[in-house]
Amino acid sequence: MTNSRQLVFPQGATVSVLTSTGIVFVGQVIRDTAQRNHEEPLDPFFAIQLTTAVTIDSTVYYTVGEIVALNINSIEAIGPVSIV
């Protein structure tokens, strides 16, 4: 993803983000991306507060509650999380 204006999620929305390394991050959006001023420089990062831990091969890399800033160029897919 090379255009951060494509990322339009309200603050507090829970999203699932798949990165180019295959790691999935699930968390709540920190900043309301729909309210960006079009004159602002493009922010190359998408920040979320994790609602699930990120583990790789049984090793915990990030814990619930941590804030991570993901480079938008490393995002392969992103979408809202729906709990039914």
Residue 35: per-residue pLDDT: 52
Domain ranges of the chain: 4-80
Question: Domain 4-80, CATH 2.30.30.100 — does that match?
Answer: yes
Residue 66: per-residue pLDDT: 95
CA distances from 24 to 6, 40, 46, 53, 78 (A): 19, 28, 14, 10, 9
pLDDT per position as a tens digit, 9-57: 788 889 999 999 999 999 999 875 555 555 555 568 888 999 999 998 8
Name the pTM for this structure: 0.76
